[in-house]
Chains A and B, each alone.
Chain A
Amino acid sequence: MLKQLKYDFSKLVLQKKYQFIIVVVIMSAVFYSALLSKKGLNNIEIVNNGLLTFRPIYWLLCCYMICDVISCDYHYQTLKIIIPCSKSRSSYIVSKVISSASISLLTLLAYLLSTNITSFFLTSDYSCSIQSSSFALLCIGAIVGIFFFESMIALCMIVTESEAATIGMSLGTVIIMLILESIEQISRYLPTMWLSTLPSIAKSKSGPELSVMATFIILSLLLFANTIRVFVKKDLFA
């Protein structure tokens, strides 16, 4: 498992495209924060407004990065070479899920930190910078969403073995959720929203939202267990 993880992480570190994505995200965050600070918004307003604009693009990027990590061995047809090196097929899948979640979370952290730091210096409003507890909650909200998409993407990739079908399904699901976000009554129950609404949900200790979140976590776990079950029995020798 550790060997597989080390291999997946070294691939993430060495592939230039991930560095490129993170650099572009940081530059856009700095630029957009500077733009918002000129409108006279304070630190928290800049972070919140920025997150609102960035969120749809972030989920598209997440889908891309998760699909890329999970479908890589299918694309290059290296699955037959990699699997015997891994301890088991389940550890292979777990490693893919951990590495793709890490790169998605790192992208979010890069965005949040650069927005925070830029707004901190530009507004000179030291009194209302984002609290570390809110910061952690934003990340937890994102992780739940990431985990949900990962479980769906992994299942779709392993069942269909088609990159096109997987990316079509994942982006389609994200777009459906973005459409659903426009309705206020249900937007708080969507995984794509939690990365910006979880701090307020936690503050109000709202039961229904937290129950829906728990349901999504259980659903993700079930999908994930099913993915492992299908993958373990899959004929990869053809």
Chain B
Amino acid sequence: MKKIGSIVEFEVKRMLLSKTTAIYTIIYFVSFIISVIFFKLYGNDGSVLTIGNAQSFPIQHLQASFLFTGIFMAVYVAQIVVEERSDGTIKVLLLRPVSRLAYYISKVLAIFLFSILLTLIMIALSYIVGMLFFGWGDQMVFNSFTSSGMQGVLITLLCGLAFAFTYFTFGLIAMVISMFTNKLLESVIIMGVLLMVGQYFEILPSIKQFTVFHQMLFFHIDIFEKPFAYNITSFLVLSIYCVVFGMVGFSVFRRKDLYV
């Protein structure tokens, strides 16, 4: 457990201090600024925003960052899985008394923490951009749901947690893909094309709830809009994805030849 903790601690430091995280922050910031400009120019029709205030800004932007967050997640996963293998640094780690299971669990935890970090970056940046351009506002509006003050912030964070969970699931799928690729770019582009194509599941109402892409787009909205039973099904679908891809990933990693 201590070994897992040490590896996770290292991963957290790496994700916080890497150039990649800085680039993601800049890209999110630019996209939020574009959204503000669209809202100011064209109102509701030209933006994902339904109301212009800092309280509503983060929660209304989560869905719009589907492609960004999916791609960034895929890049991070490929970075920690493929790059360590191709650079040979994984051998250094496994030569110490660290089992493959401990190593694998630490990577899964790192993916979970990264999905939380990305969500927090997005929420924090949205609040800053919202405050700069609109001010705090009277109430938080999210589809048919309204709230205000501290309760609104907590609801945004809850929504962010649901959002992060779906991207963690996607990260585990990316991890399995990364096990089979030898280059970071290959893994990222496969996941990027899957994200693009995955959106077309929305035209199949009977199966869309069972796809991770639908959950990435709607799970954080559905928890406020859909009945409890529907959300339990969605949660189970995501959990099954996590368990299946987590186990498949470990099974592949356990047998992987790392000694070349």
Contact = CB atoms under 8 A, between A and B. Distances in A.
B27 A176 contact: yes
B258 interface: no
Interface in B8-59: 18-20, 23-24, 27, 30-31, 34, 38, 42, 46
8 smallest CB-CB distances across A and B, nearest first, come from A172-B27, A64-B189, A164-B79, A165-B19, A175-B67, A165-B20, A164-B20, A171-B71
B108 interface: no
Given A57-B193, A169-B23, A68 B185 contact: yes
B38 A183 contact: yes
Interface residues of B, number: 32
A70 to B, nearest CB: 10
Interface of A is mostly: helix
Interface of B: 18-20, 23-24, 27, 30-31, 34, 38, 42, 46, 64, 67-68, 71-72, 75-76, 78-79, 83, 86, 183-186, 188-189, 192-193, 196
Interface residues of A, number: 28
Contact of A57 (B20, B30, B71, B196): B196
Interface string A5-17: 0000000000001
10 contacts: A61-B193, A68-B183, A71-B185, A75-B183, A164-B20, A164-B78, A168-B20, A171-B75, A175-B31, A179-B31
Interface of A: 17, 56-57, 60-61, 63-64, 67-68, 71, 75, 160, 162-165, 167-169, 171-173, 175-176, 178-180, 183
A238 to B, nearest CB: 15
Contacts of B83: 163-164
A137 to B, nearest CB: 26
